[in-house]
């Protein structure tokens, strides 16, 4: 009786799967038509605001029992595969493979995109600017270690726009070939990863030397060639290089997020849940910092970040980077930025884009 019941249920699942496959192909045909329509008007085929709207609509309308948190993952791959039908999407990222930037790129663009590693942040910008990649993925800040200065510096000289942001939870694991703590004689990782795991290392492996390398992925690659070495890297790096987990989640702060930016050649449209990033240089005069923030304050705009960087061409002068909630086409944001011009030597809008969700 049980076997018969199971057989009937499995047949129902097969029938449903066949319907899903038919619907996926129907969706793909519509996507191809959308691609043709966009090509006729020379529009971007990847629209972050549209993608976020799809996720929100489906999650808000999900009656269950299919888990809402899985909807984004499933439809990310459906959208990724659909976009590849319009045009193979090439995405440059700060490599090598299995870095957290690589993971962030896959989270944003799915497995059907062609993710191409680059050796530096400037190389990512260059690939996108020259049209050799449609988009780029670069880190901009970590919740524990702060800003990635090189990324902000690149915006000073680049005309590329921020198209989206990604907030990725960073989980550091200790990895080795044997998976045994007693075999470890040295620790290899990127300096930032070592810093984020400082307390655990001091309490458990204080006597072992630490070796700085260019990335957590390179650390995993070196550990895969040396039985005495352990790497601090991601789970993805363990899978790629055939390593075993010695200890999971060794970061000192369990709430460790890195923010990544998607850069492209055009400004995304309004999604209704946006953030705008701007860069500006102020005139050196008394009270300027107060007046710089006043256009946003009196319009009750929410500033989520302000960061300063030295202006390399002039000593003791600074460039400011600011994030404000809203899109550049929103009246309040537009008026505030226009007013900001009065106090600045220059103002540059880096992009308006959908806010990331945790």
With the C-alpha atoms ordered 208, 211, 215, 218, is the resulting torsion angle positive or negative?
Answer: negative
- How far is CA 295 from each of CA 46, 92, 280, 283, rounded to the nearest angstrom? 33, 36, 14, 16
Task: Answer yes or no: are the C-beta atoms of 83 and 54 closer than 8 Å.
Answer: no
Tokens of 214: 């260019």
Q: Is 20 left (phi over 0), alpha (psi -120 to 50) or beta?
A: alpha
Instruction: List, by residue number, the catalytic residues.
Output: 258, 260
Three-class secondary structure of residue 322 per DSSP: strand
Please report how many Cα atoms fall inside a 13 Å half-sphere around the Cα of residue 179, on the Cβ side. 6
Residue 350 makes CB contacts below 8 A (sequence gap 6+) with: 155, 161, 162, 277, 278, 279, 321
Tokens of 62: 């999900």
Nearest to 179 by CA among 122, 112, 127, 227: 227
| Rounded CA separation 285/8 (Å) | 79
């Amino acid at each position: 009786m049980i076997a018969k019941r199971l057989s009937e249920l499995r047949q129902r699942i097969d029938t449903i799967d066949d319907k899903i496959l038919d619907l996926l192909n129907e969706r793909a045909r519509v996507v191809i038509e959308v691609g043709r329509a966009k090509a006729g008007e020379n529009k971007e085929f990847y629209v972050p605001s549209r993608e976020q709207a799809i996720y929100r609509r489906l999650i808000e309308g999900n009656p269950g029992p299919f888990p809402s948190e899985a909807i984004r993952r499933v439809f990310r791959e459906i959208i990724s595969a659909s976009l590849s039908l319009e045009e193979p999407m090439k995405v440059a990222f700060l490599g090598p493979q299995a870095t957290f930037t690589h993971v962030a790129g896959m989270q944003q663009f799915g497995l059907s995109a062609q993710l191409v590693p680059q050796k530096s942040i400037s190389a990512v910008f260059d690939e996108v600017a020259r049209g050799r990649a449609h988009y780029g993925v670069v880190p901009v800040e970590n919740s524990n270690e702060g800003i990635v200065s090189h990324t902000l510096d690149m915006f000073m000289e680049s005309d590329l726009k921020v198209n989206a942001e990604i907030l990725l939870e960073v989980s550091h694991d200790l990895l080795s070939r044997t998976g045994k703590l007693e075999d470890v004689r040295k620790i290899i990782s990127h300096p930032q990863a070592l810093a984020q795991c400082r307390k655990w290392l001091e309490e458990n492996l204080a006597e072992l030397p630490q070796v700085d390398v260019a990335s957590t992925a390179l650390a995993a690659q070196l550990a895969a060639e040396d039985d005495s070495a352990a790497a601090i890297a991601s789970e993805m790096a363990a899978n790629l290089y055939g390593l075993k987990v010695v200890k999971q989640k060794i970061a000192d702060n369990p709430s460790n997020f890195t923010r990544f930016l998607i850069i492209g050649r055009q400004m995304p449209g309004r999604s209704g849940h946006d953030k705008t990033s701007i860069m500006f240089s102020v005139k050196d005069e008394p009270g300027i910092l107060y007046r710089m923030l006043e256009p946003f304050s009196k319009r009750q705009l929410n500033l989520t970040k302000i960061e300063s960087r030295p202006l390399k061409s002039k000593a003791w002068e600074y460039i400011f980077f600011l994030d404000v909630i809203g899109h550049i086409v929103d009246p309040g944001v537009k008026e505030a930025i226009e007013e900001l011009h009065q106090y600045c030597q220059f103002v540059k809008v880096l992009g308006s884009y959908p806010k990331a969700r945790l």
